[in-house]
Copies of this chain bind each other. A is one copy, B any other.
Amino acid sequence: MNNLLVAQSGGPTVAINATLVGVLQGARVSTKVDKVYGAKNGIEGAINDNLIDLNELIKDTQALDTLTFTPSSALGSCRYKMKDWKVDDEPYKKIINTFKKHDIKYFIYIGGNDSMDTVDKLSEYCRVNNHDIYIMGGPKTVDNDLNLTDHCPGFGSAAKYIATTISELERDISVYDIPAVTIVEIMGRNAGWLTAASALARANGGPGPDLIYLCENVFDYDKFIQDIKDKLAIKPGLIVAISEGIKDSTGGYVSDSMSSGAVDNFGHKYIAGSARALEQLVREKIGCKVRAVELSLMQRSAAHIASETDIMESLMLGQKAFDCVVNNETGKMAAIKRLSDNPYRVEFTSVPVSEVANHEKIVPKEWITPEGNDVTEEMMTYLKPLIMGEINIKYENGIPKQYRLY
């Protein structure tokens, strides 16, 4: 028996189930795999022998279809970081026990940086210890910060949600004729790709965000206030996009520095986001109407406005990971290589996971304007194809249909 195990890890996205479905579709028509299992809650499910039988699911094409468009990780997730096996090989032994018990020869792990680190370590462990087990990574992260792939599954859909939402918020804030600033906080601690995607709100000629601050640049409070004053001199309602992870010249998060003195009635520190911190600053320094908006979990879970490009690519990356692993590739990650921007063309490939794990691909400085408050045309050219296309979501009783594995 040559069985396959698949698992999901890290923060959920809208596209991570599409990659799972890609793997399952591969297994459905392949002669190389007998049975397919899912590990519950990522690698922890493999360690604790907590598997789900997916063989019935594979035959149900309607369920696969619904699962493709269901947000978040259907198999659950974890935040488990594997130690080096030379330091502690206990979890590795447990995983191998699970694999042997269920005749698992192939393992596909869908996730971000930490998950690719697991793929790297576990595949090395198997190789060194002569286990006949092959392990591939499937990329996933809204942050778009994985190395060696043009972009990451989940990012395009989050970008489409952000662009659409900013264009809708722009309409909302433009109705009153008084000075007002709306500061929108977008995910990204170290990589500002999602914040950059706010610029796509201008795609059809709308004004989009008036100012954009990415976490790659040092955030200057005085410059920020001056930028706002300059813009308010031209138009009353401003919309400003900022990364949650913007840092000032001390290297500290803006959110921390502004909220460090604030405590509540119980003496507890307030945990403010960066937008809320800057809301306070604008109120203090300018005194106009100001509001902080956080796109929060919605930006990574709004499957109802997923990018068709993103979902289709995520599915194909799952199939690519499957193809690679059953052809005994190991220690690699399925990846996207962009061939051209316009027409948009890509190919799917596999890359050494050791060069992906523990790297972060941040926005190149040249794609941020010299003033540090917007993105360049190169960035727009890169982003545009990723939000193209809409998916035909099925609704039931007025809300999108979803598939729940458990």
Q: Are A200 and B398 CB-contacts (below 8 A) given A259-B264, A284-B266?
A: yes
- 9 A-B residue pairs with CB within 8 Å: A71-B168, A200-B398, A201-B399, A204-B402, A270-B280, A291-B296, A293-B294, A293-B297, A389-B398
- Chain A residues proximal to chain B, CB less than 8 Å: 8, 12, 41, 70-73, 76-79, 160, 163-165, 167-169, 171-177, 182, 200-201, 203-204, 206, 258-266, 268, 270, 272, 280, 283-284, 291, 293-298, 300-305, 307, 384, 387-390, 395-402, 404
Closest-CB distance, A347 to chain B (whole angstroms)? 22
Q: Are A264 and B268 CB-contacts (below 8 A) given A70-B171, A172-B12, A294-B296?
A: no
Partner of A163, one of B266, B305, B399: B399
> Given A12-B172, A72-B172, list of 15 further CB < 8 A pairs?
A41-B175, A41-B176, A72-B171, A76-B175, A77-B175, A168-B301, A200-B397, A203-B399, A258-B264, A261-B264, A262-B264, A266-B280, A291-B296, A293-B297, A294-B294
Q: Are A293 and B293 CB-contacts (below 8 A) given A168-B304, A399-B160?
A: no
Partner of A177, one of B41, B172, B284: B41
The quantity of this chain's copies bound in the complex is 2
CA distance A266 to B259 in the complex (A): 10
Which B residue sits closest to A203, measured CB to CB? B397
Q: Are the CB atoms of B399 and A301 closer together than 8 Å?
A: no
CA distance A173 to B76 in the complex (A): 10
Q: Are the CB atoms of B266 and A298 closer together than 8 Å?
A: no
Q: Are the CB atoms of A384 and B398 closer together than 8 Å?
A: yes
Most buried by B among A174, A182, A206: A174
Which B residue sits closest to A204, measured CB to CB? B396
Q: Are the CB atoms of B176 and A77 closer together than 8 Å?
A: yes
Contacts of A272 in B (CB 8 A): 270
Nearest first, the 10 closest Cβ-Cβ pairs linking A and B are A387-B398, A203-B397, A72-B171, A77-B175, A261-B265, A172-B301, A168-B301, A262-B264, A73-B175, A293-B296
